[in-house]
Amino acid sequence: MKQSLVKMLENSIDYAGLFPPAKLPLNHAMRNYLHYLESEERWLLSRFVLPISQVNNLRPFKADFDELPHPIEFSILGSGGTNNSDFIANLQSDLEVIQNLEEQFNALVPMMEIKLPLDLYSTPDKTLMEGLFMDIQSTLDRFEGTLSSIYFEGYFIGDWKNTLATQLAIIKSIREENSTVDLHCKVRTGGTEKKMFPSIAQLAQFIHLVKSNEIAFKATAGLHHPFFHYDPSIGVNMHGFLNVLAAAIFDLSLDETRQLLQEPNLTNFRIEEQSFSWRDKSLATDEIMKRRSTVFHSFGSCSFVEPIEDLQAIGLW
């Protein structure tokens, strides 16, 4: 594989084998992950995605974790909440569970992923949003050292663009005050039903907004394959992980972002040892590494094998 593509994909897959459509039992998913950590393809792998409700089920794997040369890394899915007060109460409880996990196991939890309360998007209120993030910051300060990053997931409902813009502005102001935890965004790019897939216009707008505010993001669901394609089993156009990665790292207008997200194959890409290009846009390998660290961090996938097989099938691996 060309070095430019290696740097595009390095540590990009958060393994989410517990989730649909794979929906594996914890024992099966964890055995897969431990195997992947020892494989030649481990450079592609990032964290194991685990719901907070499953933390207490890790006890049978303690001996396996103890044998690892480095702590196993988790991305914990937080409880969230239907309103601000429930969200904060659950966040505190989740952080206590994470502290206990790190104390009792050879494990690290560098990041959490949490859905924001739905009403922040369905009936947007800037004051409520600001209040929630102030309380989040206060809670994180009390647990300093427990996490390094949190990714907040919103919704493509109502006046979502303005709501997201408000969220990004708040995150940006918190970051400027030297927050103890990096606050980022998360976008859902698919699921098991047609309605769970954002349109090209929605996804392009999301990427454009977070980039223009210099906030990094991760993606989840529906990104098993490299390129944009139609899936007849669900009856929907599915997004590709190379489309999303490239749209994140290149400097693009909103219209160019939409165009790149719809690329169905390699035709308009040039992947060389020291550069990755799309049409007249090109980035050197070193610059790709910087963009990955500041713009796009990872994507959750219930399969680690499918992305590799697809890359092999089109001659990129």
Q: Is the pLDDT of residue 250 over 90?
A: yes
Residue 216's pLDDT band (boundaries 50, 70, 90)? very high
Q: Is the pLDDT of residue 178 over 90?
A: no
For residue range 23-42, what is the model confidence (pLDDT) as tens digits?
A: 999 999 999 999 999 999 99
Instruction: Report if residue 245 sits inside a domain.
Output: no
Residues 207, 247: contact at Cβ < 8 Å? yes
Q: Is the pLDDT of residue 46 over 90?
A: yes
Q: Give the residue from 28, 27, 32, 3 showing the smallest Cα distance to 15.
A: 32
DSSP 151-183: EEE--S-SSHHHHHHHHHHHHHHHHHTT-SSEE
How many other β-carbons are positioned within 10 Å of the β-carbon of residue 141?
A: 11
For residue range 188-208, what is the model confidence (pLDDT) as tens digits?
A: 999 999 999 999 999 999 999
Residue 4's pLDDT band (boundaries 50, 70, 90)? very high
User: Strand 45-51 vs strand 72-77: parallel, antiparallel, or unpaired?
Assistant: parallel
Q: How far apart are CA 223 and CA 8, in angstroms?
A: 15
Strand (E) or helix (H) holding 64: helix 62-66
Q: Is the pLDDT of residue 177 over 90?
A: no
For residue range 100-130, what is the model confidence (pLDDT) as tens digits?
A: 999 999 999 999 999 999 999 999 999 999 9
Residue 282's pLDDT band (boundaries 50, 70, 90)? very high
Instruction: Report if residue 18 sits inside a domain.
Output: yes
Instruction: Report if residue 113 sits inside a domain.
Output: yes
| CATH number reported for the structural domain that contains residue 134 in this entry | 3.20.20.70
Q: How many CA atoms lie within 13 Å of 309's alpha carbon, on the beta-carbon side?
A: 5
Instruction: Report if residue 248 sits inside a domain.
Output: no
Q: How far apart are CA 246 and CA 284, in angstroms?
A: 13
Distance (Å) of CA 138 to CA 115, 206, 298? 18, 27, 27
Q: How far apart are CA 268 and CA 299, in angstroms?
A: 23
Q: Give the chain's domain count.
A: 1
The pLDDT of residue 74 is 98
Domain residue limits at 114: 10-224+289-301
The pLDDT of residue 179 is 76
Q: What is the largest CA-CA distance in the chain?
A: 52
Number of helical H runs and strand E runs in the chain: 12, 13
Q: Is the pLDDT of residue 5 over 80?
A: yes
For residue range 79-96, what is the model confidence (pLDDT) as tens digits?
A: 999 999 999 999 999 999
Q: How far apart are CA 88 and CA 94, in angstroms?
A: 10
Q: How far apart are CA 275 and CA 282, in angstroms?
A: 7
Handedness of CA 72, 291, 305, 197 (dihedral sign): positive
**What residues does 183 pair with on adjacent strands?**
150
The pLDDT of residue 176 is 85
Q: Which of 142-146, 287-291, 312-316 has the lowest mean pLDDT?
A: 142-146
The pLDDT of residue 172 is 94
Instruction: Report if residue 206 sits inside a domain.
Output: yes
Mean pLDDT, rounded, for 11-31? 97
Find the angle CA(206)-CA(288)-CA(312) to the nearest 5 degrees: 90
For residue range 56-72, what is the model confidence (pLDDT) as tens digits?
A: 999 999 999 999 999 99
For residue range 251-273, what is the model confidence (pLDDT) as tens digits?
A: 999 999 999 999 999 999 999 99
**Cα distance from N-terminal residue to C-terminal residue, the chain:** 5
Q: How far apart are CA 306 and CA 107, in angstroms?
A: 27
Mean pLDDT, rounded, for 153-169? 97
- Which backbone phi and psi does 79 adopt, to 5 degrees? -70, -30
Instruction: Report if residue 312 sits inside a domain.
Output: no
Residues 33, 75: contact at Cβ < 8 Å? no
Instruction: Report if residue 104 sits inside a domain.
Output: yes
The pLDDT of residue 175 is 87
Tokens at residue 226, please?
């490299």
Residue 180's pLDDT band (boundaries 50, 70, 90)? confident
Q: How far apart are CA 212 and CA 223, in angstroms?
A: 23
Mean pLDDT, rounded, for 42-55? 98
The pLDDT of residue 126 is 95
Find the angle CA(52)-CA(296)-CA(9) to the nearest 5 degrees: 95
Instruction: Report if residue 277 sits inside a domain.
Output: no
